[in-house]
Amino acid sequence: MAARKPIIGVMGPGRTEVHTEPVDKHVELALELGKQIAAHGWLLLTGGRNIGVMDAACRGAKSAGGTTIGILPGPDAMDISDAVDIPILTGLGSARDNINALSASVLVAVGMGPGTAAEVALALKARKPVVLLATNPEAEKFFSGLAPGLLHVAGDVEGAVTHVKGLLA
């Protein structure tokens, strides 16, 4: 049987969440990151909702012919991004953040908010590598201190993809 395709998680603020950086920039980065993930033959996993970074990453991946998995917090089909191929309806609320952390081989955080912080922390707790893309210096300093060997910082999409490639190798 052929090897499974790697699953890359992309996390980041939805529009309505508290966040510390302009959302438009993150949406653009997530679109491009989703495209690159699909172009490399990886599966994309996000929180699956039709807002913010998760929606943009899925739309990017679909535009490049990729496959997208959404781990939804709700129990039903409400709020699913149209760009999710495989919606997993957990009904777990924010407890589903840990499924994202466990199921992805590498997590990329685009921007930062409380939910994104939870996912990064849960990934580090599970000893998963994390790439921070366009977060902020406070986030980089804090998470680097928590788990030095697991935390990687990228300034642009190309840098993030290079990190992912290296981590999957």
Q: Where on the chain is the footprint of a second copy (CB under 8 A)?
A: 1, 4-5, 7, 17-18, 20, 43, 62, 69, 71, 75-76, 82-99, 101-103, 112-115, 117-118, 121-122, 124-126, 136, 138-139, 141-143, 145-147
Taking the least distance from each CB to a second copy, the nearer of 97 and 157 is 97
Select from 102, 49, 38 the least CA-distant residue to 71: 49
**N residues, the chain:** 169
| H or E element at residue 169 | none
Taking the least distance from each CB to a second copy, the nearer of 29 and 45 is 45
Residue 35 beta carbon to a second copy: minimum distance, rounded to whole angstroms: 16
Residue 39 beta carbon to a second copy: minimum distance, rounded to whole angstroms: 19
Strands (E), 30-129: 43-46, 68-72, 86-89, 106-110
Taking the least distance from each CB to a second copy, the nearer of 9 and 27 is 9
Residue 131 beta carbon to a second copy: minimum distance, rounded to whole angstroms: 16
Pairing of strands 130-133, 7-11: unpaired
Taking the least distance from each CB to a second copy, the nearer of 62 and 157 is 62
Distances (CA, A) of 128 to 24, 28, 62, 70: 28, 25, 25, 19
Residue 158 beta carbon to a second copy: minimum distance, rounded to whole angstroms: 26
Q: How far from the centroid of its chain's Cα atoms is residue 109's Cα?
A: 5
